[in-house]
Amino acid sequence: MNREEARKRIEELRREIEHHDYLYYVLDRPEITDAQYDLLMQELARLEAMYPEFITPDSPTQRVGGKPAEGFATVTHRVPMLSLNNAFNEADLRDFDRRVRQLAGGEKVEYVVEPKIDGLAVSLIYENGRFVRGATRGDGEVGEDITANLRTIRSLPLRLRQPVPFLDVRGEVYMPKKEFARLNAEREEAGEPPFANPRNAAAGSVRQLDPRVTAKRELHIFVYAIGLIEGRDVATHWEGLHLLRELGLPVNPHIYLAATIDEVLDYVNGWQEKRHQLPYEIDGMVVKVNSLSLQRAMGSTAKSPRWAIAYKFPPEQALTRVEDIVISVGRTGVLTPTAVLTPVRVAGSTVSRATLHNEDIIRQKDIRIGDTVIIHKAGDVIPEVVEVVKEKRTGAEKEFHMPSRCPACGSEVVRMEGEVAWRCINSSCPAQLQEKIIHFVSRDAMNIEGLGPKLVVQLMRAGLVKDAADLYYLRYEDLVRLERMGPKSARNLLQAIERSKNASLGQLIFALGIRHVGAKAGKVLATAFRSMDRLMTASEEELMAIPEVGPKMAASIVAFFAREENRRLIERLRQAGVRMTEEETAAGDQPLAGKTFVLTGTLSSLTRREAGELIEKLGGKVTNSVSKNTDYVVVGENPGSKYDKALALGITLLTEEEFLAMVGYPSSRQKEEKTAEGEQIKLF
């Protein structure tokens, strides 16, 4: 490939990656698998490394860059960032409607209703379609320049799909519930205080001076309003939201256009319970006048617009009793106190335990065994004690003291300087080993199906497993003898363990449980080093040369591999046949191993992404373009140019039916026939 061809290919790859980001983040309709996406990114990174003169700041490879900043510059918003007045009940919303209609002077009023995302308000500036600056709300007039950190958010496009001359768009950066729970668990293991809610976690992540820290946290954004736009005329807020979506910006899918306040109320009430099913926290619904001319006519007070209101859901809390306080020991030895509660329903589920985080929190809140307490779910996910109802004390409550010895192994516990946690210092403490193994087999790690925490405990108690490597030396004879383990489950378990040998290098690195190395970092390290051996011998400098790796992570990785016991563990995993490199493809016994597929056109039984995942699961590879190395091209409805290319190169073409037969997936017609006979079929 010459220089000119490289330049063209680079631009082509960027467009393709942006297109897939759009499908994934904005339309929620991905067409390719993560592995295919990674291939595109890798090809782009490789070409950019060969031709650095073609690197531009808006390239998808350039999201994490730059060095830690000294501080944030200030930014004056061209249009102030207002906040909202609150409504707490139906009467408040009806009052709002009355005021709006009065000001509208008889004009018909429509409302747009949107979830109120609990995150951090930001302004994003695009000039000629390029993301040039992002800022916090600050005091509404002046905010902080957090461009470098916002660039790390993958759902934020660095280029718009159409280059409007100027756009100032407002939105909310948020952290999904799952990530909030993960981050807090990680902080607890590291002896750091947890974040109180996803909003604080998002704000804390975005206001990091080092963008690498932001990049490690999963943050997303929804945009909800146009602050200023040039080059386009927009008459209603609804139209504006759709324009933003067309431009490639992520707009919340649950926006709703209501013709009357009754419709608003119905919609809002419908979300009261449903909100717990969303993957992110919402603390209410925002109601906005749809017509922009009416919005302008109504204007704003100093702080908030008259044409919008935030309906806040009542906080979900429940009263219950602390029956006991128990201690669990995590994989780094942290002792975490947990309150055992009389079961009670709160925020969509029954809660019987609440984390007390650490000793300081028990002291601050003065929580005693026997206390009546108010609980809630932080971030709508983590049950927590809000406060003690002191009036209900009888005098029989018992104060709790952290144990001075590890409840699992009896070793000494210490509190490190600057940490809130007590730790068991015995690295062969059975509780720590147990948690390490539970982590090792978990979904994002080696993903050993059917091997949950209970079975790990059972295997350890039976003396069959002492560390993660022992899993790969389990024998059928040992397993069948276990209680509740028949021949079939024993065989299934061995098969699942066998399959996990082929987990990606990134999964393995994450599974090792190195401090500060999460699932994302595992992947980054795997891509950078491609083999466990190279990672094991990497110096702190080499590690820190990777944009996503900061000094803390680098030091922790070096320290991990310096320990003899960790090197021994890896050696035993290697000897058992666990994959230690990135290039290695799937095991030979997988039916599609070594085969390369290209998909074109629309499939009727499954999405292209599902088809891709299926191929990868069976050991095949999916690429985005047809070449002489392609084995099969699967042709759906309305195939594109890949079809012509496949014909020209004489590649084997598969119809959807042929493809489904090859991968053993029931086609839609077969599905109907079978269901008609009343037979249950299980899809993968």
Residues in contact with ligand IVH, shown as a per-residue x/- string from 172 to 191 under the rule CB under 6 A: x-------------------
Instruction: Tell me how far apart the alpha carbons of residues 347 and 315 are, in angstroms, rounded to a whole number.
Output: 9
Which span (32-40, 103-111, 303-311, 404-412) binds ligand IVH, by CB under 6 A? 303-311
Residue 319 has, within 13 A of its CA and on its CB side, a CA count of 4
Rule CB under 6 A: is residue 113 a binding residue for ligand IVH? no
Residue 122 Cβ, how far from ligand IVH at the closest point, in Å?
Answer: 8
Residues 154-173 interacting with ligand IVH (rule: CB under 6 A): 172
Instruction: Tell me how far apart the alpha carbons of residues 482 and 485 are, in angstroms, rounded to a whole number.
Output: 5
Q: Would you list the DSSP string of 649-681? A: HTPEEEEHHHHHHHHT---HHHHHHHHHTT---
The count of chain residues that interact with ligand IVH, using the rule CB under 6 A, is: 14
Residue 554: which H helix or E strand, with range? helix 551-562
Residue 372: which H helix or E strand, with range? strand 372-378
Which of residues 143 and 191 has its CB atom nearest to ligand IVH in the complex? 143
Which of residues 170 and 579 has its CB atom nearest to ligand IVH in the complex? 170
Rule CB under 6 A: is residue 310 a binding residue for ligand IVH? yes
Residue 133 Cβ, how far from ligand IVH at the closest point, in Å?
Answer: 18
Which span (35-43, 77-85, 187-195, 361-369) binds ligand IVH, by CB under 6 A? 77-85
Rule CB under 6 A: is residue 135 a binding residue for ligand IVH? no
- Look at residues 135, 122, 377, 361 and name the one whose alpha carbon lies nearest to residue 224: 122
- Look at residues 647, 665, 648 and name the one whose alpha carbon lies nearest to residue 656: 665
Residue 490 Cβ, how far from ligand IVH at the closest point, in Å?
Answer: 51
Residues 6+ apart with CB under 8 A from 504: 523, 526, 579, 582
Which span (53-61, 304-312, 484-492, 565-573) binds ligand IVH, by CB under 6 A? 304-312
Which of residues 169 and 346 has its CB atom nearest to ligand IVH in the complex? 169
Rule CB under 6 A: is residue 311 a binding residue for ligand IVH? no
Instruction: Tell me how far apart the alpha carbons of residues 508 and 526 are, in angstroms, rounded to a whole number.
Output: 9
Instruction: Tell me how far apart the alpha carbons of residues 282 and 60 are, in angstroms, rounded to a whole number.
Output: 29
Which of residues 296 and 454 has its CB atom nearest to ligand IVH in the complex? 296
Rule CB under 6 A: is residue 117 a binding residue for ligand IVH? yes
Q: Give me the residues paired with residue 130 across strands.
A: 127, 159
Instruction: Tell me how far apart the alpha carbons of residues 512 and 508 are, in angstroms, rounded to a whole number.
Output: 6
Strand duo 652-655 + 632-635: pairing: parallel
Instruction: Tell me how far apart the alpha carbons of residues 496 and 593 are, in angstroms, rounded to a whole number.
Output: 18
Rule CB under 6 A: is residue 225 a binding residue for ligand IVH? yes
Which span (69-77, 81-89, 538-546, 547-555) binds ligand IVH, by CB under 6 A? 81-89
Residue 172 Cβ, how far from ligand IVH at the closest point, in Å?
Answer: 4
The question of whether 642 is a catalytic residue gets the answer no
Which span (41-49, 109-117, 405-413, 568-576) binds ligand IVH, by CB under 6 A? 109-117
Rule CB under 6 A: is residue 308 a binding residue for ligand IVH? yes
Task: Please pick, among 67, 108, 116, 645, the residue that the annotation labels catalytic.
Answer: 116
Rule CB under 6 A: is residue 668 a binding residue for ligand IVH? no
Rule CB under 6 A: is residue 433 a binding residue for ligand IVH? no
Which span (52-60, 110-118, 336-344, 601-609) binds ligand IVH, by CB under 6 A? 110-118
- Look at residues 466, 498, 493, 500 and name the one whose alpha carbon lies nearest to residue 479: 493
The residue number whose beta carbon is nearest to ligand IVH equals: 121
SS3 350: strand
Rule CB under 6 A: is residue 249 a binding residue for ligand IVH? no
Rule CB under 6 A: is residue 83 a binding residue for ligand IVH? yes
Which of 157, 240, 305, 379 is close enough to bind ligand IVH by CB under 6 A?
305
Rule CB under 6 A: is residue 294 a binding residue for ligand IVH? no
Rule CB under 6 A: is residue 114 a binding residue for ligand IVH? yes
Residues 6+ apart with CB under 8 A from 212: 64, 68, 547, 548, 549, 550
Which of residues 237 and 579 has its CB atom nearest to ligand IVH in the complex? 237
Exposed e or buried b for every residue in 122-146, given b needs 16+ CB within 10 A? bbbbbeebebebbbbbbeeeebbbb
237 phi/psi in degrees, rounded to 5: -65, -40
Residue 308 Cβ, how far from ligand IVH at the closest point, in Å?
Answer: 6
679 phi/psi in degrees, rounded to 5: -85, 135
Rule CB under 6 A: is residue 116 a binding residue for ligand IVH? yes
Rule CB under 6 A: is residue 121 a binding residue for ligand IVH? yes
Q: How far is CA 453 from CA 298, 381, 383, 442, 470, in A?
A: 58, 20, 20, 9, 16
Which of residues 28 and 477 has its CB atom nearest to ligand IVH in the complex? 28
The length of the chain in residues reads: 684
Active site residues: 116
Residues found near ligand IVH in the complex (CB under 6 A): 82-84, 114, 116-117, 121, 172, 224-225, 286, 305, 308, 310
